[in-house]
Structure 1
Amino acid sequence: MNVDHYTCRVTWSPEDGEHLALCAEFPSLSWLAATPEAALKGIRQVVSDIAADMTTAGETIPVALAEKHYSGEFRVRTPPEVHRSLAMQAAEQGVSLNRLASAKLAG
């Protein structure tokens, strides 16, 4: 396990008046600090400690998002009206519904 492979981010917490660090693979963990650098260092340390404890206890630690395999497929359920509207947009643009949806998701 390498904490460098986990997905961490730092944001400002107006409620706390400090920088908040989070780890996507461990959503229940966070770390507050005065600087972004200290927040990142703190969350990385707590993730490392928790992962070591989990390993010692024989628990499975989360796989880093960066190391997971993604098929490129997922299902989205929408109301029939939305499906119809998207199908019409795709037809008008001369593309498949899949290509239209993918482009919209990509922003």
Structure 2
Amino acid sequence: MNPCEPSIVAHYRYAVTWSPEDEGFVATVAEFPSLSWLDADRFAALEGLDRLLRDVVADMCARNEVVPLPFAERQYSGNLKVRVPPERHRQLVIEAQEAGVSLNRYVNDLIAH
């Protein structure tokens, strides 16, 4: 998908939460962590952020800047490399052995729960 198509904005990961500090609803979009919109109405907060994001994406496209793809449009390999201290690695291997599964399956189960 072309990140400069106007319809792409609907594919981003939006969230609207109440902010006690601001006494209003804050709309955010995960792919653009520096953007937010505050409003007393939660729907207005989302609409405000949507308009802002459309302007930001259009401006980035006009400047030939790289526009982040929505998480939903990205391809994932399924490979996840995690660095842990050697002591933790050893402990995970022992726990996996005791559970009778591979280290990969053991860690995957830990992440899932």
TM over 0.5: yes
- Relative to the length of structure 1, the TM-score reads 0.92
What residue identity is the alignment partner of 1:18? G
Deviations 1:36-70 (A, max 9, x none): 22221111111111001111122221111110000
| Unpaired runs of at least 5, structure 1 | none
Residue 81 of structure 1 pairs with residue 87 of structure 2? yes
- Within 5 A, what are the aligned runs for 1:1-80? 1=5, 2-80=8-86
Q: Distance in 1 between matches of 2:81 and 2:89?
A: 13
Give the root-mean-square deviation of aligned CA atoms. 1.1
Q: Displacement, 1:106?
A: 1.6
**TM-score, normalised on structure 2?**
0.88
Name 1:91's counterpart in structure 2: 97
Aligned residue for 2:77, secondary structure, equals: coil
Is there any run of 5+ residues in structure 2 with no aligned partner, and where? Answer: none
Instruction: Please identify runs of 4+ aligned residues in structure 1 that moved more than 6 A.
Output: none
